[in-house]
Amino acid sequence: MTKVLVAVVAFEVVVFGLAVFVMLQVSSVPVQVAVPVCAAAALLAVVSAGTMRRPLGQWLGWLCQLVGLAMGLLTPAMFIMGGLFALLWVATFVLGRRLDAQADGRAGA
């Protein structure tokens, strides 16, 4: 499960980085706001990916989803991207837990 969760968060790093340009060009967000917000979001996603094997990493991953949605307050496009990543995160998290439980059940039998 953790490999797929890391992949989701890694793609979020790219999206958070590219969101700077959308904020500047489309939504006219000031540079002094767009760059630090996107950099902090990308850094959070990197830290989350790096700690994903521990419970802290998964909590940080959930926080990344909230940050992605909250960035929609600066540019509406991030409501869409944040929502898509949040759905992908939830699906991966739920299905990963089910698969891990099945694997544990087979290993114990």
State the pLDDT confidence band at 97, using cuts at 50, 70 and 90.
confident
More confident residue, 61 or 103: 61
Structural domain of 60: 2-100
Burial status of residue 109 (CB atoms within 10 A of its CB: 0-12, 13-18, 19 or more): exposed
Give, in order, the Cα–Cα distances in Å from 2 to each of 8, 25, 35, 95, 97.
10, 35, 29, 12, 10
How many domains, in total, are found in the chain?
1
Q: Smallest Cα–Cα separation from 57: which of 21, 93, 104? A: 93
State the average pLDDT over residues 84-109: 85
Residue 9 in any domain: the answer is yes
Residue 109 in any domain: the answer is no
pLDDT exceeds 80 at position 25:
yes
Residue 105 in any domain: the answer is no
State the pLDDT confidence band at 108, using cuts at 50, 70 and 90.
low
